[in-house]
Amino acid sequence: MRLVMMGTGKFAEPTFQALLAGSQAVVGLVTQPDRPIGQERGSTRQTGTSLKVLATERNIAVLQPESINTPEGVAALRALQPDLLVVAAYGQILSKEVLAVPPLGGINVHASLLPKYRGAAPVAWAIYHGETRSGVSIIKMSVYLDAGDILAHEALEIGPEETAGELEARLAVLGGRLALQVVEQIAGGTAHGIKQDKNLASRAPKLTKEHGQIDWSRHARDVCNQIRAMQPWPTPYTYWHRQGKEPQRLIIHKAVWREDAVPVALAPGEIAAQPQQRSGLSVAAGAGSQVEILEIQPAGQRRMTAAEFLRGHRPEPGDRLGPEIA
């Protein structure tokens, strides 16, 4: 069976490596065009060049069209004569013309327990919404986004402090193992799909920079989930508002919800009095809850602990965190 891998970045690498180590012939790689480093955005899956390196080291044909869906892209794919497409975080929605090229169609490595979190950023949105379990689904590709029959899936637990980037790295390894398993089943004629229940479907749209802006009106538990979900991109951020000074942008790298904190009568975003026994920066969130910031990065400076930050920045009563324009 002739396979063509379609993927971009670190999330796709374990799948490509698994296919290369498998018994089926990998005859091509379709990946995104090379981008300047400063333009790499989206998540861990949008960075790295190892896929192309792996392919060229093995003399595997590499296609990097701006769009695989053009007549030229379809023709180039057809020239590889694939029997099956294996897709992992490719970054483009495939047209019916592309999916019609291989006789066996395509399978997709999706980083969620479908039908939940269909879309471009399933890992981030799972953490954002407080899920405690995630996983990988291998699906038969269709013209409808992430709606094909499930050929395999496996769940794992989300760590209580795990960021989207950390979870995605673990899911990538799981995805590679499951993808190879399904490829071998397809080759042996033993693959069987289960239809998704569309009534249970939820969306995981592509992230934008604005999704990183922290909403302090949410409960502290949810604020901490957002901080974990928006790493490594678009990064969780807020602005420090002080009397008589311009708002200062802060990236929040790590924070925790102190369940034992006494409810505060402060507006969301207001900086609370700092307990002597703690080294974090306490900020009021929704419903009287508190977020304790542990790691922070002021604009133009290095990442530091909250204790280091507080040694050089003394919050005053009435200081608050929030949008740049409030």
The pLDDT score that the predictor gives to residue 60 is 98
What is the rounded distance in angstroms from the CA atom of residue 179 to the CA atom of residue 89?
Answer: 13
E strands, 192-286, in order: 237-241, 248-257, 281-284
Residues of the chain with CATH 3.10.25.10: 209-322
Helix/strand/coil for 253: strand
Residue 265 has pLDDT above 50, yes or no: yes
The pLDDT score that the predictor gives to residue 277 is 55
- When pLDDT is cut at 50, 70 and 90, the band that residue 6 belongs to is very high
Q: What is the largest CA-CA distance in the chain?
A: 71
Helix/strand/coil for 322: strand
- When pLDDT is cut at 50, 70 and 90, the band that residue 46 belongs to is very low
Lowest mean pLDDT among 146-160, 164-178, 303-317: 303-317
Helix/strand/coil for 159: coil
The pLDDT score that the predictor gives to residue 278 is 63
Q: Are 271 and 320 in contact (CB under 8 A)?
A: yes
Residues of the chain with CATH 3.40.50.170: 2-200
Q: What is the mean pLDDT of residues 73-83?
A: 98
The pLDDT score that the predictor gives to residue 264 is 78
CATH superfamily of 209-322: Formyl transferase, C-terminal domain (3.10.25.10)
Percentage of the chain beyond pLDDT 70 is 94
Residue 35 has pLDDT above 60, yes or no: yes
Q: Are 240 and 319 in contact (CB under 8 A)?
A: yes
pLDDT in tens, 231-261: 999 999 999 999 989 999 999 999 999 887 7
pTM value? 0.93
Architecture of the domain made up of 2-200: 3-Layer(aba) Sandwich (3.40)
pLDDT in tens, 303-312: 999 999 999 8
